């Protein structure tokens, strides 16, 4: 019997090896698919599970109402149609009488369009499952209350800062949340969703370095519009009648905001001779306030590693530009300034996103830090209330000065010589 060729003997062994590789590969792919399917299933369950925003820490219950206001003195430069007057959605959170009533929905009606759509939406808490603490159109509490204007980050809407707004209202403030029309990804006017325009959210503002060239010009232009929005809202709240008649202390409004809204708050305060003070939550500065500074009390709160206080270790050109801008503004400012850094936080920890369930890819996309979301919002709220109590009501500020603080996550930063 003749001997087989060596290649003939190796063929069965090679086939067995191929079968083994294919089997292992298919098993691995099956495991990945099952794991992915399991994660999607888990996310879908978490998507519907109710969550409650952090509870307000002040003594007042909170009421909420909404307005659509038109500024007849301004033509909207961001509108797609020329000659359109500037129109704004304003949500008002306020101290309420302890009468109960109907708990407000988080983002009702067309506002639900702020939710992530299609499959990514399964990785975000359903807005209908988000519980808030405010009551719809509740009676106003006895007393007169100062006005605070709240501005969102670029592309976001004021009601996405409900946790901070409710907390301030519970401390006795009328908080007017302004959503900048045609800049926010979505606002709602007269029940109709209105989306951003290129003029309102210019692509140049997505540049890495926002302080040079077209990005800086677009930022300066937009800051002026937002600051005018904020001042308009403060004036309209001051003139409120009916249930708010006799309850508005409009003598010295304050302005607070996150990201681009924080920058616009500084500029609004600079322009408002009656402004009591302003807060910038993690916003790199733009506009005339950078060169002119602020002569009123100011607080800047940075996320971990952010350079908006001018006190970070700048590792690249973008960070160095943020540092230079902040230091220019601070050097020109004559009002008392407090700067802080919220440890373990990222940019979106100052918004309600910190409280939602977000699947891992969305959390990474939205830049949320490792700090517990509710804790970060509570600590931020405590410092906002302390700043406003001092700037608006002239109360002592032991928390701001660092004489006493139980909040180790909030670190004071030396940001001014």
Q: Which residues pair with 339 in a beta bridge?
A: 300
Q: Which of 81-90, 172-181, 399-408 has the lowest mean pLDDT?
A: 399-408
Dihedral angle of Cα 293, 336, 254, 397, to the nearest 10 degrees: 170
Dihedral angle of Cα 67, 72, 76, 81, to the nearest 10 degrees: 100
pLDDT in tens, 75-92: 999 999 999 999 999 999
pLDDT in tens, 178-235: 999 999 999 999 999 999 999 999 998 888 788 888 989 999 999 999 999 999 999 9
Residue 398: pLDDT band by 50, 70, 90 thresholds? Answer: confident
Q: What per-residue confidence (pLDDT) applies to 121?
A: 74
Q: What per-residue confidence (pLDDT) applies to 363?
A: 82
d(CA 53, CA 55): 6
Average pLDDT over residues 289-308: 97
Q: What per-residue confidence (pLDDT) applies to 362?
A: 82
- The answer to whether residues 86 and 70 touch, using CB atoms and an 8 Å cutoff, is yes
Burial (CB < 10 A; 0-12, 13-18, 19+), residue 307, is buried
Burial (CB < 10 A; 0-12, 13-18, 19+), residue 318, is middle
Q: Which residues pair with 71 in a beta bridge?
A: 86
- The answer to whether residues 115 and 124 touch, using CB atoms and an 8 Å cutoff, is yes
The sign one gets for the Cα dihedral 344, 376, 362, 310 is negative
Where residue 137 falls (left for φ over 0; alpha for ψ -120 to 50; beta otherwise) is left
User: Given a cut of 60, is residue 28 above it in pLDDT?
Assistant: no
Q: What per-residue confidence (pLDDT) applies to 47?
A: 67
Q: What per-residue confidence (pLDDT) applies to 226?
A: 98
Collect all residues with Cβ–Cβ distance below 8 Å to 342 and sequence separation of at least 6. 301, 302, 303, 304, 349, 350, 371, 376, 379, 380, 409, 410, 411
The alpha carbon of 236 is separated from its chain's Cα centroid by a whole number of angstroms, namely 23
Residue 38: pLDDT band by 50, 70, 90 thresholds? Answer: low
The residue among 86 and 32 whose pLDDT is bigger is 86
d(CA 141, CA 336): 32
User: Given a cut of 70, is residue 41 above it in pLDDT?
Assistant: no
Q: What per-residue confidence (pLDDT) applies to 200?
A: 95
The residue among 363 and 356 whose pLDDT is bigger is 356
pLDDT in tens, 123-163: 899 999 999 999 999 999 999 999 999 999 999 999 999 99
Q: What per-residue confidence (pLDDT) applies to 364?
A: 82
Six-digit token string for 346: 């990222």
Average pLDDT over residues 366-382: 95
Average pLDDT over residues 98-110: 91
Q: What per-residue confidence (pLDDT) applies to 359?
A: 86
d(CA 351, CA 3): 78
Q: What per-residue confidence (pLDDT) applies to 313?
A: 85
**Number of residues written out for the chain:** 417
- Mean residue pLDDT across the chain: 89
- The secondary element (H helix, E strand) that includes residue 398 is helix 398-401
């Amino acid at each position: 019997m003749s001997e087989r060729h060596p290649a003939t003997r190796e063929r069965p062994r090679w086939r067995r090896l191929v079968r083994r590789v294919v089997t292992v590969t298919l098993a691995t792919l099956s495991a990945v698919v099952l794991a992915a399917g399991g994660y999607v299933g888990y996310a879908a369950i978490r998507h519907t599970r109710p969550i409650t925003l952090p509870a307000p820490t002040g003594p007042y219950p909170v009421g909420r109402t909404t307005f659509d206001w038109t500024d007849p003195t301004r033509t909207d430069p961001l509108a797609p149609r020329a000659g359109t007057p500037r129109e704004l959605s304003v949500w008002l959170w306020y101290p309420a009488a302890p009468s109960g009533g109907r708990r407000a929905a988080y983002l009702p009606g067309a506002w639900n369009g702020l939710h992530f759509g299609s499959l990514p939406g399964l990785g975000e808490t359903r807005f209908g499952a988000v519980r808030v603490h405010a009551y719809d159109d509740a009676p106003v509490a006895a007393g007169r209350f100062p006005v605070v204007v709240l501005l969102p980050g670029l592309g976001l809407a004021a009601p996405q800062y409900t946790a901070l707004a409710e907390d301030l209202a519970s401390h006795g403030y009328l908080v007017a949340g302004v959503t900048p029309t045609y800049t926010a990804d979505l606002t709602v006017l007269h029940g109709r969703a209105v989306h951003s325009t290129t003029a309102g959210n210019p692509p140049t503002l997505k540049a890495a370095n926002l302080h040079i060239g077209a990005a800086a010009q677009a930022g300066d232009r937009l800051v002026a519009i937002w600051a005018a929005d904020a001042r308009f809202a403060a004036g309209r709240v001051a003139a409120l009648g009916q249930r708010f008649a006799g309850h508005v202390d409009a003598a010295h409004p304050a302005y607070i905001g996150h990201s681009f809204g924080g920058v616009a708050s500084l500029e609004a305060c600079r322009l408002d001779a009656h402004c009591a003070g302003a807060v910038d939550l993690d916003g790199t500065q733009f506009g005339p306030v950078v060169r002119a500074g602020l002569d009123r009390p100011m607080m800047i709160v940075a996320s971990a590693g952010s350079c908006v206080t001018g006190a970070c270790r700048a590792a690249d050109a973008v960070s160095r530009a943020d540092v230079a801008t902040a230091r220019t503004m601070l050097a020109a400012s004559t009002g008392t300034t407090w700067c802080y850094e919220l440890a373990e936080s990222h940019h979106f920890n100052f918004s309600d996103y910190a409280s939602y369930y977000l699947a891992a890819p969305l959390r990474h996309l939205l830049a949320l830090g490792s700090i517990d979301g509710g804790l970060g919002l509570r600590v931020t709220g405590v410092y906002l209330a302390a700043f406003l109590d001092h700037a608006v009501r002239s109360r002592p500020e032991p928390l701001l000065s660092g004489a006493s603080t139980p909040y180790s996550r909030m670190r004071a930063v030396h940001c001014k010589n």
